Structure 1
Amino acid sequence: MKKNIKTPSLSVVIPVFNEHKTIEQVFDRVYNNELVSEIILVDDCSTDGTYEIIEDIVKKKLPERNIKVKFSQNKKNMGKGGALRSGFKLATSEIIVIQDADLEYDPKEYYNLIQPIIENKADVVYGSRFIGGTHRVLFFWHYIGNKILTLISNVFSNLNLTDMETCYKMFKRDILEKFELQSNRFGFEPEFTAKIAKANLRIYEMPISYDGRTYKEGKKITWQDGVAAFYHILYFNISANYFYGFLFFFIICFFLITI
């Protein structure tokens, strides 16, 4: 970190659903990061005791450091997008970063992600898993699916991102005043990307490490989420007047090709 440059306050928003095995370790990693001013945990109606674990964590950790810790529970399961919207409303710091509640993303990356914002080069920074960071070797088709979705998103948004679906999105809190987020579940990623592109915000990508999970270890995203992401890319990038016509045309073309 460069000297003589004031480090802005940082809120970490952590959406949580059934992560009783990992939530305490993730919290500790975030809590021990010197950049962090505020931690916001949003439980999305977990059924495995995660919320009770969060309550215990907060009680134990609150006296130790001068970090604000907030937590809430959605009244019904709303998915990642819904949990993030709840968390963003509680955030008070100058900058927000999204942190998944598993162990795939390491909070040590905050130090790199925040640099373009501190240097006033960016309003939004994406942490890319595909431009240099160390990563666990896992699913080939997940990699291909991510590349396809990022490519389609780039075609419509006119960006040149390498990892639209990354969890690590760090941004100035005041950009949320420029648009309204609507998506639940994993539709958040393409919606957020489409809206920051339309708002003409300054966007950077920084390399990050990635320690992906297997499904046995708790990975939740499926091929259905990929289909939903494609839908959301179209929906949020194409004017509502043309969206359904375009979608109908695509479906007809798809069936004609497969006949």
Structure 2
Amino acid sequence: MVDDSIAVNKDSLRDHNKNQRNYNGKKIVILLPAYNEELTIAETIKDFHSEIPEAEIWIINNRSKDNTELLANKTLKELRCQGGVMNENRPGKGNALRRAFYEIDADVYVLSDADMTYPAYHVHDLIAPVIDNKADMVVGDRHSSGHYANENKRKFHNFGNDLVKKLVNKLFKGNLADIMSGYRALNKHFVKSYPILVEGFEIETDMTLHALDKRFRVTEISVDYRDRPAGSFSKLNTFKDGFKVLNTISSILRYYKPLTFFGLASLAFFALGIISAIPVFNDWINYGYIYHVPLAILSTGLEMVSLILMSIGLILDSINHQDKRNFELSNLANIKRQ
């Protein structure tokens, strides 16, 4: 009985907060990338439309082989909802969002999955900091409340998420709880200055890295997370996506921290060169002559590789710094034009 009362009060509070929102005439779009989501797409659209009926809802149909497109169009028509369905034939969530970012113009962009895992009633909390100009990107944090850990039973998936999170926070001096959340609100400036170069589900990580690297304002809002309804299946594969996580970690270091990446590689080759040269040094000290000629050649080669790697790291670090400088200058120019 107590639980029912709490649920009713909570729903009433959400309705009250929803009615009190004022978006100051801002154009809001909700983007729902979808691949074979016929079981959930209609309810997802209805949920978001009921929460924020003035928003446009766009479904990016990413090569679905089921009735996702048909049901999406039917639901939008029944609700008389602004928006529509656009088809993206290049596979991957990154390609789907790239198409939407290029073609849709808005003040606030809300990203969500089309599988009913992210409750629509959090959309107002996500949008508010963007509308108030307090954040460029607001991330729906699934972890802090413990809902994601309770619903997601894939241990390797959780391990990969945690590994990437710790690395990103360490390298970028951040304190983010959820690097890979697919529930986000973005302002126009972020969307139109974000080059999407990834194709798949690593888009969320890449988006977070871009925000941190280019010093955009990032805020996290704790959100609930629900498991997919019966009959609906995740498109993620533990081992396949595990390799993607490892590749993501490598890419973070290579693209965003080149001096760290190539510096560590240079240090490894330098150490191997020293170890290989120990018998050579021993020959020279004891006999004044080098008997281990192959080891001398190997150690020399390893040290040369170490020097080259360090040089590459320094050059790319300088280029990376110049890229950040140019980005800041571009931001200032855009602000002046506005």
- TM-score range relative to shorter protein: 0.7 to 0.9
Give the Cα separation in 2 of the matches to 1:71 and 1:240.
35
Query: How big is the alpha-carbon RMSD for the aligned residues of Structure 1 and Structure 2?
Result: 3.1
Q: CA deviation at 1:215?
A: 9.3
Aligned length: 247
Q: In proportion to residue count, which structure has more helix?
A: 2
Cα pair distance change 1:209/1:4, threshold 3 Å? closer
Check if 1:102 corresponds to 2:115: yes
Within 5 Å, give how 1:13-32 maps onto structure 2.
Answer: 13-32=31-50
Q: What's the TM-score once normalised by structure 2's chain length?
A: 0.65
Report the 3-state secondary structure (helix = DSSP H, G, I; strand = E; otherwise coil) of the residue aligned with 2:250: helix
Give the Cα separation in 1 of the matches to 2:234 and 2:256.
33
Cα pair distance change 1:194/1:241, threshold 3 Å? closer
Task: Please list every run of 5 or more consecutive structure 2 residues that lacks an aligned counterpart in the other structure.
Answer: 1-16, 270-338
- 1:61 maps to which residue? 79
- 1:158 maps to which residue? 173
Identity %: 23
Match of 2:222 among 187, 190, 207: 207
Match of 2:55 among 34, 37, 49: 37
- Deviates further, 144-153 or 119-128: 144-153
- Deviates further, 82-91 or 133-142: 133-142
Match of 1:73 among 66, 71, 87: 87
Q: CA deviation at 1:54?
A: 2.0
- 1:222 maps to which residue? 237
Query: Does the 8 Å CA contact 1:191/1:233 hold for their aligned counterparts?
Result: no
* Amino acid paired to 1:138: N
Q: CA deviation at 1:112?
A: 1.2
Give the Cα separation in 2 of the matches to 1:3 and 1:106.
18
Q: What's the TM-score once normalised by structure 1's chain length?
A: 0.83
Match of 1:146 among 143, 146, 161: 161
Match of 2:128 among 111, 115, 121: 115
- Deviates further, 5-14 or 217-226: 5-14
- 1:232 maps to which residue? 248
* Amino acid paired to 1:165: M
Q: CA deviation at 1:139?
A: 0.9
Report the 3-state secondary structure (helix = DSSP H, G, I; strand = E; otherwise coil) of the residue aligned with 2:86: strand
- Deviates further, 37-46 or 111-120: 111-120
Give the Cα separation in 1 of the matches to 2:95 and 2:145.
31
1:48-80 per-position Cα deviation (integer Å, ceiling 9, x unaligned): 121222232233232xxxx42121111x24211
Give the Cα separation in 2 of the matches to 1:72 and 1:3.
29
Q: CA deviation at 1:143?
A: 2.9
Task: Please list every run of 5 or more consecutive structure 1 residues that lacks an aligned counterpart in the other structure.
Answer: 254-259
Cα pair distance change 1:35/1:49, threshold 3 Å? closer
* Amino acid paired to 1:137: E
